[in-house]
């Protein structure tokens, strides 16, 4: 845990810091409260699974908290958290034709059920004053893309906000863009740290601007160099095996020459598989958070779907980034295109040389924050 002072943050201090070209993210963004989204999209126990599907599509979200309202007519009434519904929960019940002309009677029956029937009751939550870097660590360790922020840790937890991986990356990115714009170094070549930089900083520790500038350099500084790929004509079953064995959620898809043709995610696979009508309720373990761990390959319909070739399921012509690109550009892609992972390609755009995910970038922010904190104590 990273302990931070409880001194009140003033907006004018952040503005002054940005105006002076100083690093402000790690200095002022301290707790979950500082970055959480307060307008939380939610459903109640009276809502149906069809409402969850519509809300996820309308707001591009993967999880929805289920709240119990004591007085729905009163906007100030307490809304107690009782469960969570995710895309994974819904996928277990619906076929790939749900919401289209191919929708089955089973789909219609499932969509009419209460969200109560599929919601998970054991959620990971944090209080508003939890250190931001504790929240980031939980998201990385538990493979969660979002965390609910609640008032109490007991049975009556009232939701006051939500934090997503994108929220943290977006805040860091915007502050860095403003800082670099003020310094006029957005296109300047990154220079190595010199002794004089420490002397001029007037600090005993490492100046935060120098650390951020040096460490947030090129995509090669963070990308996963040992990239695991799969070919377009391989069966989907091979992708499931590769993802499970290597504990990864993205696979660049290549042709026989190694040229990138697509990107396959665990979410793509789950969406492609047929409904099994099975849904485990209650606690969520690390294994259950792995979307692919709950696939039953012996189910007749699932077995058939897993024999389909990768090219029929993958996202074709995925967004990529050049190996010589700055790290901040990758962050911009995560935020602007809502990408969970992006392949890194050679300078000629021909071969896949690595891959970077939101979790990788979040881990970099967490590591940098720890380093800055330790430096400030020197």
Report field, pTM of the whole predicted structure over 0.75: yes
Between 101 and 353, name the one with better pLDDT. 353
Residue-wise pLDDT for 271-291, tens only, equals: 888 765 554 444 444 444 556
**pLDDT mean over 162-190:** 74
What domains appear along the chain, each with residue ranges and CATH number? 11-29+169-214+365-376 (no CATH), 34-166 (3.10.580.10), 230-360 (3.10.580.10)
Residue-wise pLDDT for 45-77, tens only, equals: 999 999 999 999 899 888 999 998 765 556 566
Q: Lowest-confidence range among 201-205, 209-213, 288-292? A: 201-205
Model pLDDT, residue 328: 84
Cα separation of the two ends of the chain: 18
Model pLDDT, residue 188: 45
Give every CB contact of residue 116 below 8 A, 6+ residues apart in sequence. Answer: 45, 66, 83
For residue 5 the two structure tokens come to 């002072």
Residue-wise pLDDT for 286-313, tens only, equals: 444 556 777 777 888 888 989 999 999 9
Instruction: Tell me the CA distances in angstroms from 166 to 60, 213, 337, 359, one per residue in order.
Output: 12, 21, 11, 10
How sure is the predictor about 19, in pLDDT bands with cuts at 50, 70 and 90? low
Residue-wise pLDDT for 110-160, tens only, equals: 899 999 999 988 888 999 999 988 999 999 988 888 899 998 756 678 899
How sure is the predictor about 264, in pLDDT bands with cuts at 50, 70 and 90? very high
């Amino acid at each position: 845990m990273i302990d931070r002072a409880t001194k009140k943050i003033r907006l004018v201090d952040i503005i002054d810091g940005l105006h002076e070209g100083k690093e402000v993210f790690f200095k002022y963004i301290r707790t979950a409260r500082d970055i959480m989204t307060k307008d939380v999209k939610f459903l109640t126990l009276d809502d149906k699974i069809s409402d969850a599907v519509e809300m996820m599509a309308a707001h591009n979200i993967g999880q929805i908290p289920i709240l119990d309202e004591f007085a729905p007519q009163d906007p100030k009434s307490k809304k107690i958290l009782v469960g969570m519904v995710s895309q994974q929960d819904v996928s277990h019940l619906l076929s790939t034709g749900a919401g289209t002309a191919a929708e089955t009677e089973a789909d219609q029956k499932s969509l009419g059920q209460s969200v109560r029937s599929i919601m998970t009751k054991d959620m990971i939550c944090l209080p508003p004053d939890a250190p931001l870097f504790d929240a980031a660590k939980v998201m990385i360790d538990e493979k969660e893309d979002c965390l609910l922020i609640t008032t109490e840790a007991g049975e009556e937890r009232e939701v006051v906000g939500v934090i997503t991986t994108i929220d943290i990356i977006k805040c860091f990115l915007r502050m860095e863009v403003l800082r670099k714009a003020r310094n006029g170094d957005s296109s300047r070549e990154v220079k190595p740290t010199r002794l004089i930089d420490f002397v001029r900083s007037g600090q005993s520790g490492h100046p935060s601007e120098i650390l951020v500038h040096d460490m947030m350099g090129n995509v090669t500084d963070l990308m996963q160099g040992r990239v695991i790929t799969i070919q377009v004509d391989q069966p989907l079953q091979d992708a499931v095996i590769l993802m499970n064995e290597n504990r990864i959620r993205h696979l660049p898809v290549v042709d026989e020459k190694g040229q990138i043709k697509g990107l396959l995610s665990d979410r793509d696979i789950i969406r492609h598989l047929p409904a099994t009508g099975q849904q485990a309720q209650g606690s969520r373990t690390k294994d259950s958070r792995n979307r692919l761990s709950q696939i039953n390959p012996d189910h007749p319909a699932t077995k058939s779907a897993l024999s389909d070739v990768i090219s029929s399921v993958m996202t074709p012509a995925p967004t990529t980034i050049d190996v010589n690109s700055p790290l901040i550009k990758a962050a911009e892609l995560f935020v602007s295109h809502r990408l969970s992972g992006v392949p890194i390609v050679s300078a000629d755009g021909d071969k896949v040389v690595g891959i970077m995910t939101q979790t990788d970038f979040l881990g970099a922010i967490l590591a940098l924050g720890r380093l800055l904190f330790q430096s400030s104590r020197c």
